[in-house]
Structure 1
């Protein structure tokens, strides 16, 4: 049974461009290296460029639990609000 997950967060204005770039790299990395990740998408909100949403779909619990080790993308410390 697929596992659906989402993450919403907001960054400061000085970090928006860096986070948008890092999110694009992360989506490509997950698509290439994480088997069982059926979908991984990242969107930047059009009317508030400091807000982002990531959507994930994993094939099953095993795919959700076994994710490839990821290189750091620079997200740490940039989020001002997570919901």
Structure 2
């Protein structure tokens, strides 16, 4: 599924498209809708880079056992484990 964000919303936010995507992903991560691994993947960052972004924004890393297992499965699916 693709999401189209109207140009008017992008202009009104004062953010670039990439910055707006980053904000959306950060909010979804904060609300436990995305795992650390998936959020970093969607932003094209390593998990360390994403954790640095979280630290810069003073957003806590809420990483539990279920997310750990999710990330392991994700890494296996990518062939990285």
Q: Decide which structure has the larger Cα Rg and report it.
A: 2
Q: Which TM-score tier does this pair reach, normalised by the shorter chain?
A: under 0.3
Q: Which has the higher contact order (CA 8 A, sep 6+)?
A: 1
Q: Greater strand share, 1 or 2?
A: 1
Q: TM-score, normalised by structure 2?
A: 0.26
Q: Greater helix share, 1 or 2?
A: 2
